[in-house]
Amino acid sequence: MTSQYRVNYHLRAHKRDSLIEFIKGMLLTPFVLHSQPTNAQTHVTENAQRFSEIFSSIEHLIQEHRSFTHQGIPTYSRLAKLVPSIGTFFTPLPLQQAFERVNAQDKISARKHVPPSFNDVRRILNMAQAMAIAPQLKLVTFDGDMTLYADGQNFEEDHGLTALLISLLRRGINVAIVTAAGYGDDAKRYEHRLSGLLAGFGKARLEAEEAARFFVLGGECNFLFRTVIQQGNRYGLEYVSDAEYSASGLRSWTDSQVQQLLDVAEAELRDCVERMAISAEILRKPRAVGLVPQAQLTREQLDECALSSQLALLKYQGSPKSQPCDVPIPFCAFNGGNDCWVDIGNKLIGVRILQDMLESPPEATLHVGDQFLSTGNDLSTRTACCTCWIINPEETERILTELEKMF
């Protein structure tokens, strides 16, 4: 499921998802009309039935939209008229079944005072996507921070996610971490961040063929690593040079162009520091530039830095009304939660590189991440593959556990 956003801070569009807001609105009407039941059990049953019918109707709208998309006329669908920013659905979404599974766990229909929320709908969409993609899944990509481990932390040894990731690898499914963390071709830096997971591979005694299905793609799309068994049966990462895989059609920029673009981004970040009187350090890397605060900033300040940088780079490339992935040199300007970064390239390119290399089509590829708002760096992946929007590693574990039941 994909959406393309026009950012208007005053309307808070950068903090919304159009499809989720539409579904929330549909669910709100029966909740309000029937919020004062005379019989508690009847209320729960009837609410579940009403919500289930709504999800069934939305499921049909999505299937109709998919049909029009296949005909090359997606804007003709009823859903496109109701949610103009809607994008492509690479699989059907069994929303009615997904609601029933999530409702059985979270008792959404039993609530009398709190209507179905953004997070409720997000989790139902995640469940539906997992149910739809499980039979043909070939590649799962993950964000790093706040998806597999806490922000700025490392993957801990004996984490519950370790066994779930190993299970995917043993099933023949490719797994990759597509992260903004950019350490160049320094495998040791990435190994340090993933030390607990790599140790878990060792404890599980993964075969070389199984371990080779695990990849790390750093700097959004710039530095690719594969897992190998090193001397002493130690599991580590090996840098894959650009010559070993085809990325020329996706990464066609020169180093000179990259540095010019980063100069513009750096100047804009320094302007943000000056006009908002921010105490922060500006860090320049070969293919990224970032603002790292020395004191905690508000979300609004980080959003301002991300949106200011985004507009400055769009203007520089002569396309102020375009999206960051639709310009000559694609980039990603994002609020990282505690900092703000501008990366050359984006996760859309990263996912497509892996899809091409591993021959995994969009309907067989799933990206799991926490940054799907317009100032997040996972949003662009919706153009390339199916997605699950989680908010912490615990939710990642939950969705992978559900996925495991579907194989």
* Active site members: 143, 145
Task: Tell me the C-alpha distance between 157 and 92, whole Å.
Answer: 36
CB atoms within 10 A of CB 250: 15
- What is the rounded CA–CA span in Å between residue 39 and residue 28? 20
Q: Which conformational region is residue 229 in: left (phi greater than 0), alpha (psi within -120 to 50 degrees), or beta?
A: beta
Listed in sequence order, the DSSP H helices in 252-326 are 255-275, 299-316
Q: How far apart are CA 243 and CA 381, in angstroms?
A: 24
Exposure letters 135-166 (e unless 16+ CB within 10 A, then b) = eebbbbbbbbbbbbbeeeeebbeebebbbbbb
| CA nearest neighbour of 143 among 381, 405, 403 | 381
Assess contact for 111 and 34: CB atoms under 8 A: no
The answer to whether residues 52 and 73 touch, using CB atoms and an 8 Å cutoff, is no
Please count the other Cβ atoms lying within 10 Å of the Cβ belonging to residue 70.
9
Which amino acid appears at position 206 of this protein?
A: L
Q: How far apart are CA 117 and CA 27, in angstroms?
A: 9
- Structure tokens that stand for 65 in this block: 């939209």
Degrees (nearest 5) of the Cα angle 281, 284, 289? Answer: 85
